[in-house]
Structure 1
Amino acid sequence: MSTIDVIIFIAYLVGIVLFGSSFYKKNKSSSAFTLGNQSIPGWVIALSIFATFVSSISYLALPGQAYLTNWNAFAFSLSIPFASYMAVRFFVPLYRSINSPSAYTYLEKRFGPWAKNYVSVMYLLTQLMRAGTILFLLGIMLHTLLDWDISTIIIVTGFSVMVYSLLGGIQAVVWTDAIQAIILIVGAIVCILTLMFSMPEGPGQVFEIAAANDKFSLGSFGASLNSSTFWVVLIYGIFINLQNYGIDQNYIQRYMTSSSEKEAKKSALYGGLLYVPVSAMFLFIGSALYSFYTAQPGLIDPNIQADKVFPQFIVNQLPNGLTGFLIASVFAAGMSTISTSINSSATVILTDYFKIDSNSDDDKRSMRILYLASFIFSTLSIGVAIAMINVQSALDAWWKLASIFSGGMLGLFLLGYLSKKLTSLSAFIGVIAGVVVIGWMSLSPIFFPGTSLEPYTSPFHSYLSIVFGTVAIFIVGFLIGVFVNKKVITEKTSL
C-alpha cells in the first residue's frame, strides 16, 4: 500500500470515530442509547439493517466462493424477500406492540424467565464470538498488507468502534452504519468497473470466460440433502433469515427506533431487499476475478486460497488511492457489524437483567450500566480476537457449540407465536429436543467417523441443522402441549 492509501484508510477510521462520537450530546438517557428516542429516519435504519447483513466476512467470502465455485450462495439471498415480508406482516407489529428495547421480553411473557435467559445468554455469547472473529479477520488483513503488529491492529480497531458506540449509542451505530453501507457499496462498484475495463479483450471477456466455466451457475437443482444444492441453501436461508428478523436483537432493536410502525416496516423491507443486489455484486466480483486471472494467469499464484484472491487484487491491481478506499470499505463492513453487536448486547444486558424504573435517578444508573456493558463487551471481543491468533481450532469448536445452542432460538419463538396456549414445560422439552437434533447433525460427522458409531452420523448437510432443529422444537413442543392440555381436560372432566 502506498502512503496515500494509508492516509485514506486512517482518515476513514478517524472520521468514523469522530462522527459517531458527535452523537454524545444526544445520548443522555437510556432511551436515547437504546432506541434513539424513536426519532431516527427510516432510510438510515434501512441502511443499518442492510449493513447488519453484511460483514467483512461477506465482503471477502462471497467473492472467494464465486471465484472458487459458482453463485450457489446467491440462493441464500433469494430467501431474504420472504423473510422481509414476514417481518413486515408479523414481526414488526408484534415487537412494536410489546414496546421493549429487548427482543426477549416477548419470550419472558410467553414462557417465563428461563426462556428469556436461555435465548439472551446464547445471543450474547454468539455476538461476542462474532465480534471477535471479525476483529481477528480485519487484523489479519491489515497485518498482511502493512506488516503491522496484528494484536495492535485488533486493539486499536476494537477500541475505535467501542468509543463511538459507547458515546453515541444507537444513534451513532445506525448513522455510521448508513455511511459504512454507502462506502462498501461504492467500493464494490469501483471493483467491478476496474475488473471489467482491465480485461485484455474488453468487458465482454469477463462474461465469456466466466460463463464457459459455469461461474454464474446457482449450483445443483437436485433433491440431495447431503450437499449444498440450490434448494438446501435456499431453505437454510429462509430459516436463518426468519431467525434474524424474528428473534435477533440486532434487527428487532431497529424496529423500535423508528418513529412509527409504518416507518419500521419500510426499514425492515428495504434494508433486507437491498442485500439481494449487493450480494449479487459481491458474487459477480468473484466471477470477474476468475475471468481476470484466467486471462492473465501470471498475475497471481495459482495455489492461492480463494478468500485471499480479492484482497490480492485490491492491493496489486487497483491504482493508488483506490486501494486505501477499498480497504476502508472492507473495514466499514466489519465495523458496522461490531458496533451493532456492542450496542445491542448492552441493551440486552440492561433490559433483561436489570429491572430499573424510568425516573431520572434510576436512568442515570441505567446509563452507567449501558456504558459499563459496552466497555466490557468490547474488551472481551478484543480478547477473543487476540486469542484466535494462536488457538483458532479451540475457538472454532466453541463457536460450533454456541451455534448449536443458539439454534433453538427460532423454534422457541415460533412455539410462542403460533401456539398461544402452549405451556412453559412443553416449550422447555421442545427446546431440549431441538438442541439434541442440532447437536447430532453438527457434531456427529466430526466425532464419529472411523468409530463404531459412524453408521449413526448425520447424513444431512450441516446447513440443514437449524432447519431440522427448529422443526423438532416446534413439533415436540406442540405435541407435548397437546398431550398436557388433553390430560388436564380429562382430569377436570373426571372430577
Structure 2
Amino acid sequence: MLLIDWIVLSGTLIFIVLYGSWRTSGSKNVTDYIKGGSEAKWWTVGLSVMATQASAITFLSTPGQAFHSGMGFVQFYFGLPIAMVVICLVFIPIYHKLKVFTAYEYLETRFDLKTRSLAAILFLIQRGLATGITIFAPSIILSAVLGWDLNTLNIIIGVLVIIYTVTGGTRAVSVTQKQQLTVIFTGMFIAFFLIISYLPDGITFTKALEIAGDSGKMNILDFSFDLENRYTFWSGIIGGSFLALSYFGTDQSQVQRYLSGKSVKEMQLGLVFNGLLKVPMQFFILLVGVMVFVFYQFNDTPLNFNPSGKESVLKSEFSKEYKELELQHKQIEESKKELLLSNFIDTEAVQTLNDNDKILREKAKKIITKANSSVETNDKDYVFIHFILNYLPKGLIGLLLAVILSAAMSSTASELNALASTTAMDLYKRNLKVPKNDEHFVKVSKWFTLMWGIIAITIACIANLFDNLIQLVNIIGSIFYGNVLGIFLLAFFVKFVKSNAVFVAAIITQIIVIIGWNYDWMPYLWLNLFGSMLVMGIAILIQTFSNKNEIKKALE
C-alpha cells in the first residue's frame, strides 16, 4: 500500500467516527439514546437495517463463496421478503402499540419476567459471540495479507466503533451507517466495473457470463430436496424465512433499527425497502465474486489464497512437494487460457481442467495442514482481498479496505448498541428496586456499550477461523434464533399457552438444538424451522397436560 491508500483509508474511517460523534452527542433521555428519538424516516430505517446485516463478512466472504461455489448461495436470501411482510403485519404494530424499547419487553406483558429474561439472555449469548466474529472477520484477513498484528487490528476496529456508539447511541449508529453504505456501494461498484475492464480484449460481460456458466458458477436455482445440500430453493424459502423472521423480528440489533422509525408506516416502509433491495444486493456481491473467478481464468492465481499457508509450507520439509503442485497448477492455468481465448471453447475440456485444479487445491490444503496445522487452509475469505491488493489501482486499494472496515464498524456498532440496550432495559432496569431518572439509564447504557465492546474485542482476539465466516455467523444465529422465534410465535398466536410451559419448553428446545447441531442432524438453515416448531410443540404439550391435571384436581 502506498501513502495515497493510507490517506484514503484512514481519512474515511476517521471522518465516519468524528461525524457520528459530532452529530449525535448529548443524548439526555433513554428514548433519544436507545430509540434515536423515534424520528427516523423510512429510508433511514431501511438503510440502517441493511447496514446492520451487511457486515465485513458479507464483503469478504460472499465473493469468495461465489468464486468457489457459484451463485447458488443467493437462495439463502429467498425467504427474506416473505419475512419482511410478516414482520410488517404482525410484529411492528404490536411493538409500536406497547412502545417497547426492546423486543423482549413484549414477552413480559404476554408471559412473565423469567420468560422475558430468558429470551434476552439467549439473544445476548448469540449476539455477543457474533459481534466478536464481525470484528474478527476483517482483522484476520487483513492481518494475513498485510502482515498487521491480528490483535492490534481487533482493538483498532473495536475502539473506533465504541467511540461513536457510546457517544450517540442509536442515532449515531443510524447516522454513520448512511456514510458507511455510501462508501461500501461506491467501492463495490468500482471494483465490479474494473474487473470487467481488466478482462482480455474480446471477453465482453456477456462472454464472461458464458465462461462462468460453462464452469458451473451460474447455477442459481436448485429445486432438489437433498438435505445434504446446504443451499437449495427450499432451504432458502423455508429455512431462510424462519431465520429472517427470527433475525429481523426478534433480534434486538435489528428491532432497534426500525423502532427508531417515526411511525408504524415509516417502520414498515423501511423493512419493505430492505426486503426489496437485499436479494439484488446479495446477487450483485455474488456476481462480483463470479467475475473475479472469470478474471482469474486469464490471470495467475495462488494455489491457496491464504498467504500464511504458502509461507508455512515453504519453510517446511514439504516445500518441494508444494512447489511441484504449483507447477502443475500453472500448467492447468495456461491450458485454460488457451482454450478460453480460442474461437471455439471446448466446455468439457474447460470443466475437466477446473476439476483437476480443484484436486490440486485440495492436495495443497493437506500439505499446508501437515506443515502447520494452525494455518487456515479454507481460503474462500481471502479471494477478494487478494484481488484488491494485487490488481486494483493505488488509492482504490485504500477505498476497498475502507469498504471492509466500514462494513465491520457498521454492523458491530448496531450489535453493541443492541447488546447494551437489552442489558440495560431487560436485565438491569427491570430488576432494579429503586427508581432512577432517564439520565442514569443513559449513563448505564453507555457503560454497558463499553462493556460489550470490550467483550467483543476479547472474543475476536481468542476466536479461530471457521470454514467460511459468513456461514459461521449464520450458524451461530440458527442455533438460537429458531427457539426465540418460537417463543414469539407462541406469544402472538397461541393464547392458551402460559409462561411456565413456554419457559420449560424453551430450555429443553435449546439443549436439543445444540445437540442436533453438534451431531449434524440437518443443514444449519433447517435448525431455524426445527427450533421454532420444537419449542411450540413442547410448550403446547406441557400446557395441555397441565390443563388436564388442573381439571382433574378440580373434579376431585
User: Could you state the TM-score of these two structures normalised by the residue count of structure 1?
Assistant: 0.90
The offset of 1:343, in angstroms, is 0.9
Q: 2: CA distance between counterparts of 1:80 and 1:128?
A: 23
Q: 2: CA distance between counterparts of 1:226 and 1:429?
A: 32
**1:127 maps to which residue?**
127
Rate the CA distance shift 1:399–1:206 in 2: closer, same or farther, 3 A: closer
The offset of 1:262, in angstroms, is 0.8
Q: Deviations over 1:374-413 (max 9, x none)?
A: 1111111111111226999xxx999978863554111111
**2:523 maps to which residue?**
461
Q: 1:220 aligns with which of 207, 219, 222?
A: 222
Q: 1: CA distance between counterparts of 2:148 and 2:166?
A: 27
The offset of 1:433, in angstroms, is 3.9
Rate the CA distance shift 1:390–1:278 in 2: closer, same or farther, 3 A: closer
8 Å contact kept, 1:48–1:271: no
SS at match of 1:237: helix
SS at match of 1:320: coil
8 Å contact kept, 2:130–2:473: no
**2:302 maps to which residue?**
301
**2:376 maps to which residue?**
none
Q: 1: CA distance between counterparts of 2:472 and 2:70?
A: 28
**1:159 maps to which residue?**
159
**1:190 maps to which residue?**
190
**1:108 maps to which residue?**
108
SS at match of 1:81: helix
Residues 112-261 of structure 1 aligned to structure 2 (within 5 Å):
112-200=112-200, 201-218=203-220, 220-228=222-230, 229-261=232-264
Asked whether 1:31 is paired with 2:65, we answer: no
Rate the CA distance shift 1:400–1:256 in 2: closer, same or farther, 3 A: closer
Rate the CA distance shift 1:141–1:26 in 2: closer, same or farther, 3 A: same
**1:455 maps to which residue?**
none
**2:45 maps to which residue?**
45
8 Å contact kept, 1:197–1:203: no
**1:362 maps to which residue?**
437
Asked whether 1:287 is paired with 2:349, we answer: no
Residues 345-494 of structure 1 aligned to structure 2 (within 5 Å):
345-355=419-429, 362-388=437-463, 404-405=479-480, 407-445=482-520, 458=521, 460-489=522-551, 491-492=553-554, 494=555
8 Å contact kept, 2:482–2:530: no
Q: Which moved further from structure 2: 411-420 or 250-259?
A: 250-259
Q: 1: CA distance between counterparts of 2:163 and 2:103?
A: 25
8 Å contact kept, 1:73–1:233: no
Rate the CA distance shift 1:169–1:398 in 2: closer, same or farther, 3 A: closer
The offset of 1:143, in angstroms, is 2.1
The offset of 1:110, in angstroms, is 1.9
The offset of 1:482, in angstroms, is 3.0
8 Å contact kept, 1:104–1:119: yes
SS at match of 1:206: helix
8 Å contact kept, 1:122–1:402: no
8 Å contact kept, 1:407–1:435: no
Rate the CA distance shift 1:346–1:103 in 2: closer, same or farther, 3 A: same
Q: How many residues align?
A: 475
SS at match of 1:156: helix
Q: Deviations over 1:344-382 (max 9, x none)?
A: 11111111123379x996122112211110111111111
8 Å contact kept, 1:411–1:474: yes
Q: Deviations over 1:12-66 (max 9, x none)?
A: 1100110111134442222211011111222112100011121111111111111
Residue identity in the other structure for 2:252 = Q
Residue identity in the other structure for 2:423 = I
Q: 2: CA distance between counterparts of 1:327 and 1:185?
A: 13
8 Å contact kept, 1:70–1:219: no
SS at match of 1:354: helix
8 Å contact kept, 1:129–1:399: no
SS at match of 1:408: helix
Q: 2: CA distance between counterparts of 1:250 and 1:317?
A: 36
Q: 2: CA distance between counterparts of 1:287 and 1:244?
A: 28
Rate the CA distance shift 1:219–1:24 in 2: closer, same or farther, 3 A: closer
Residue identity in the other structure for 2:88 = V
Q: 2: CA distance between counterparts of 1:389 and 1:68?
A: 21
Q: 1:319 aligns with which of 348, 371, 393?
A: 393
Q: 1: CA distance between counterparts of 2:264 and 2:113?
A: 27
- Larger Rg belongs to: 2
Q: 2: CA distance between counterparts of 1:43 and 1:95?
A: 20
Q: 2: CA distance between counterparts of 1:397 and 1:144?
A: 19
Residue identity in the other structure for 2:420 = A
Q: 2: CA distance between counterparts of 1:413 and 1:485?
A: 21
Q: 1: CA distance between counterparts of 2:221 and 2:168?
A: 44
The offset of 1:437, in angstroms, is 3.3
Q: 2: CA distance between counterparts of 1:266 and 1:85?
A: 10
Rate the CA distance shift 1:397–1:243 in 2: closer, same or farther, 3 A: closer
Q: Which moved further from structure 2: 335-344 or 303-312?
A: 303-312
Q: 1: CA distance between counterparts of 2:41 and 2:525?
A: 36
Aligned Cα root-mean-square deviation (Å): 2.5
8 Å contact kept, 2:416–2:453: yes
**1:338 maps to which residue?**
412
The offset of 1:336, in angstroms, is 0.7
Asked whether 1:264 is paired with 2:267, we answer: yes
Q: 2: CA distance between counterparts of 1:139 and 1:244?
A: 25
Rate the CA distance shift 1:361–1:465 in 2: closer, same or farther, 3 A: closer
Residue identity in the other structure for 1:33 = Y
Q: 2: CA distance between counterparts of 1:16 and 1:306?
A: 29
The offset of 1:323, in angstroms, is 1.3
The offset of 1:70, in angstroms, is 1.9
